[in-house]
Amino acid sequence: MTKISDHKNTVRPKPVEKPLKKKRSFRAFNVLNQKVNVGGSLHSIVDGSFLTRDNLTTQVPFILFLTLMAIFYIANSYNAEKTMIEISKTKRELEELRYEYITTKSALMYHSKQSEVANKLKNTGVKESVVPPVKIHVKE
């Protein structure tokens, strides 16, 4: 038999709890989350509560700004495409004009040769000079 006096009523010390490790997070994100309340904002977007009358009236300028930026973005992309098409048309036109220039220049060079000019003037009675030109000196 055990004696009652052998069992002492003592308070056991509480086991020491290890502190929980904090999740690594960047300080900037914590500050941003506190300022903007990203979790709440995302939650309100997902459940649609951001469309309530009170919230919607405060968001109207921002929504209009986003709409205006989207319109500018679309207009800018159309303008860029239009400019690219004009550049390609101008390049093609320049290439065609260059070919025309080369063809015209070669035809002019051919028709301005001395033998060609002599052949064309043969029927008119104009003959080629056989005497070389003489330089005239004028005394002043």
Q: What is the pLDDT of residues 70-111, one digit of tens each?
A: 999 999 999 999 999 999 999 999 999 999 999 999 999 999
Is pLDDT larger for residue 140 or for residue 100? Answer: 100
What mean pLDDT is reported for the chain? 81
Residue 58: predicted pLDDT: 79
Query: H helices of 9-126, where?
Result: 27-36, 38-47, 53-111, 114-121
Residue 85: predicted pLDDT: 98
Residue 59: predicted pLDDT: 79
Is the overall model pTM greater than 0.95, yes or no? no
Q: What single-letter DSSP state applies at residue 24?
A: P
Q: What is the pLDDT of residues 12-64, one digit of tens each?
A: 777 777 766 655 555 655 655 565 555 666 767 677 776 777 777 777 888 89
Buried b (16+ CB within 10 A) or exposed e, 58-91: eeeeeeeeeeeeeeeeeeeeeeeeeeeeeeeeee
- Long-range (24+ apart) CB contacts under 8 A made by 27-33 are none
